[in-house]
Chains A and B, each alone.
Chain A
């Protein structure tokens, strides 16, 4: 059995997401597909799994050209995909999630399905409570449920799209063991990731995709520097940061406890100085967001005290935090930040300090023109937010940060941005720090954390696991810490 992807093309409007991609993978191989965010990996996998139809090209399995018009076609020929956010039905039981969509007679024989679930999951080394609700499972368990289901349906090719996002270190170890076992049983496993170290650890061959094209193919191992070069086109060298003398404390947390229903931070002591950049590292959902939201005033601490510039904000609302110069920038730009259907000018008016009842549109438009110039936003004052690209949306959000900000809280400030935009974003952010603001940002990118932070706080399992000065640590140690282990 071999899977052959032949010259796949797919464009969305002017964007060539896949521009003649060809890959061949043999039976029993664990093949890594590496690429930066937006390189075209996900599009290719969605074509393989029938989500999208390719504009041209072919997918060949066992010498047979496949017709993939819908996921139903893909499932029928044995291609199964596990999505980054497992597509399970949260209010349904594990058992119902298992059988939903499977072929069979009209009457649903749940006892038979239960037997099947137990049989397949035992083979894979998983264990489920069939009556549990999917919403009560961890992301890792939801993945296991999906793997079980796909194997049960007879999948021969399994696609894993960034499967390690949001799962714990132990679950990751278990997942990797499962993937190896599946490959040993003769399946083709495609492992899609932008995380180099995972591909190194797991895969026996690799394809690197950049800007919709295959740029590199080789059996593993391959020198990591080479892979990085192929992924990014050039080796990314961080600018040397100008050292900034830290000022007095801006943010102060005194034994703060806070709970968002999922993670619980307990008795946290923390100080952020003027001009300091603090990076928050950890797997997604380990408590970084909880801390950021508590500092922003979106979660009220259950104990302890939180202050900014000496002003006690423990029980002050989000808008109270805004008033003393706290600014929070979540990761979802169009979900939690910008408003669709509202123009660049209007966004700037919404955040301006001008409190007059009537809006001076002429002036506002001139101001918007200046901002567009200053932040080199590709767009017009009248462009609605959704018409801007991700990088330009982020630039607009930066422009919306007030001048006198004291504490800047950011989630994944450069996620999904091209290198140039990311560098621009940080240039702007670092200017704020020179002005004496404290910056706290969460990121899943070790390089970003190491490049821009003065201090790195590592979260694991819902609490602060370690705090390191950037000067005294490196990527390897951070990797261990994020997985919940000290370097040995």
Chain B
């Protein structure tokens, strides 16, 4: 992926952007879970009709022709689409490396086998994390058993498996248990992703930001685990950007590597971008993916550095972090062309510092009770917007 960044610089003189190597197909917003940190838009209930199988097939074909090689089937819960196996087969026929990103709910042995036969390459099972299920997990009850069952099946059918756990204030102290579970399941990769604060997680931010001490303890536990387990498992610990001094290289730059197609065919440079105002995001029902990627205002808006203002415009790190995340800049400053406020050089950095400082209080101030990703809550947000 790093190489793709270099290619961008090398070919700066030519008008065509580099190909979208990563295509994320958000097949549906339907989901049996109600995670408080869900990355789907708050107003997902207002999305248009889902793309048909034939429309998805066309999207996959167009993406592959442009050079997309990694294909993610995501959602919502992608298993809720009953044409998933057909789409997996089409993905394989086209030469994608396909990844199923699932909660595991609904992942039966029959489906696991059928998807293997259809050519699915990899399954990422995540731990869901609404409070009830967190309790289940900690109590080693229903969820825990379901995860074990699904994970054993994934292994039995010889898929490489990634276990994904979103970490936050409410579960990060159980890191040892999570590591132990990953070891028992024999997964190849463990992705410990500290919650990022967009959408539902932003609403619930005061509940979810961990303390510095929690993070340090977790990081030490991960390091001890890595030292002990060696090559058997790769453990990624994604540091939360609120606690970092400089921003993440979000999406490796706007419109350079990633393209997301949402359930109703709206195309986004990242799955959060829909929140940005003043941009009409194109739809595969109206334009080809190639036209959208190369020529649309939405995809060209924050490509390159022309949109930057200080401190990004003259920052030596701008080639490295691209000014951070446009969505986070908008969310925290109201202006998407600002430096990502997690950057210590941002004039708005105090906003992030205040949120982190609040988390350090014995009793953090809580703006609102936990908001679950529920259709009724989403419909409320749709009303507020219109």
Genuine A/B complex: no
Which A residues form the contact surface with B (CB < 8 A)?
none
Which B residues form the contact surface with A (CB < 8 A)?
none
